[in-house]
Amino acid sequence: MPSQFTLEKTIASGECAIYKISPSFGKTEAYVATTQYTRAICNDPRVCGIEYTKLLQKACTEVLKLLPIDGVTEADAMVANILRGGLNFGLRDALADAYGWNYHTTCFLSAQRAQSPVDGTWHITENSYKKLYFPCATSLYIGDVVATGTSLEYGFNELIDAAVEHKTDLRNIYFFTYGGIKTEEIFQRLDERCRATFRNYGRTVIIYLEGRFVVPEDTTPLTIRLPGTDLVRWGSLMAPEFVESQYEKASYPIERCIIYDAGSRAFWLNEYAADVMGYWKQILDFAEKGLTFKELVEERFPELCVERFGEQDLRAIALEQIKAMDKILNR
């Protein structure tokens, strides 16, 4: 955990707790929310398909119940779905379940990132679809997974441009994410733009689910990683409840990523299961060459007390995870 950032519990009720991240990036507000539902998603890759999106919606509902509503009304609220990842969060239904709303607005735009095979940079593709409309005064609710932030920055600048075109009074942004620190860096710029553009602009609120996770680079000291894509436990700022949950099952702290590919996890399970299985086949190979569970935990989540897990057979753990993914592939 980076020493310059701290978590302070601000509110808790039942199974949900919210921590404030300090210091902030400019005038943005960033929080880490933890729920039983988001911990299940982060820890267990068997949670996928409809179960995954239902749990994510339930988590967003619980967080919304704890968030101050800031005077936002049903008529002001607008859910913007950045396709396809934004659909996973179920914010339209979460707002209905949390506040009893029925008439809030929902809009859509597409923004898919791709990596250049030449220089490795990320750019936007598949951005032709837009169905945007705004209430006169608008508070935006959006969810997405953020690694490099390429889709995030593109999508929000498109929304701000459209809000200006529609002469909308944009008031607040509430953003839910499994993401890394790029989220705040980008939102600091977006927040400054909103304050300069909309005279009644109020708050930019970022809700990280379970932690603000590290996005590995080529130099990150992990044997297996997808730079610019994975969200890993190593070096991350995490809710204490999430850290404690790692001891519930030996596979949890050594997963490659806390979310894997969020889109395929919901909508194309063959691709998702093959990705997770590929990781565990790599771990199986390392285990058969002598890598131990203790060594892998110390690499991927060194803050944990590995002795609390007792004796663990890394090869057996890998075979169990491979079997679980094979069951999804051959359903």
CA-to-CA distance for 240 and 157, rounded, in angstroms?
34
Q: Which of 177, 212, 247 is the last residue of a domain?
A: 212
Same domain, 122 and 15: yes
Same domain, 176 and 219: no
Same domain, 176 and 129: yes
CATH number where 157 lies = 3.40.50
CA-to-CA distance for 20 and 292, rounded, in angstroms?
36
Whether residue 1 lies inside any domain: the answer is no
Same domain, 126 and 258: no
Q: Which of 189, 212, 235 is the last residue of a domain?
A: 212
Measure CA 160 to chain center. 22
Whether residue 94 lies inside any domain: the answer is yes
Task: Return per-residue pLDDT of the chain as tens, 331 residues.
Answer: 445 899 999 999 988 999 999 999 999 999 999 999 999 999 999 999 999 999 999 999 999 999 988 889 999 999 999 877 778 999 999 999 999 999 999 998 866 655 556 566 645 565 556 788 889 999 999 999 998 888 788 888 889 999 999 999 999 999 999 999 999 999 999 999 999 999 999 999 999 999 999 999 999 999 999 998 999 999 999 999 999 999 999 999 999 999 999 999 999 999 999 999 999 999 999 999 999 999 999 999 999 999 999 999 999 999 999 999 999 998 7
Same domain, 294 and 162: no
Whether residue 196 lies inside any domain: the answer is yes
Question: Which residue segment(s) compose the domain that 267 sits in?
Answer: 214-329
Write the CA distances from 320 to 233, 302, 323, integer angstroms: 21, 23, 5
Same domain, 82 and 183: yes
The predicted pLDDT at position 2 comes to 44
Q: Which of 181, 212, 243 is the last residue of a domain?
A: 212
CA-to-CA distance for 21 and 327, rounded, in angstroms?
39
Same domain, 52 and 191: yes
Same domain, 79 and 112: yes
The predicted pLDDT at position 130 comes to 78
3-state secondary structure the chain: CCCCCEEEEEEEECCEEEEEEECCCCCCEEEEEECHHHHHHHHCCCCCHHHHHHHHHHHHHHHHHHCCCCCCCCCCEEEEEEECHHHHHCHHHHHHHHHCCCCCEEEEEECEEEECCCCCCEEEECCCCEECCCCCEEEEEEECCECCCHHHHHHHHHHHHHHHHCCCEEEEEEEEEEECCHHHHHHHHHHHHHHHHCCCCCEEEEEEEEEEEECCCCCCCCCCCCCCCCCEEEEEEECHHHHHHHHHCCCHHHCCCCCCCHHHHHHCHHHHHHHHHHHHHHHHHHHHCCCCHHHHHHHHCCCCCHHHHCCCCHHHHHHHHHHHHHHHHCC
- Tally the domains of the chain: 2
Whether residue 137 lies inside any domain: the answer is yes
CA-to-CA distance for 56 and 90, rounded, in angstroms?
7
Whether residue 179 lies inside any domain: the answer is yes
Q: Does the pTM of the predicted model rise above 0.95?
A: no
Same domain, 35 and 145: yes
Whether residue 279 lies inside any domain: the answer is yes
Q: Is 255 exposed, middle or buried (0-12, 13-18, 19+ CB in 10 A)?
A: buried
Same domain, 43 and 144: yes
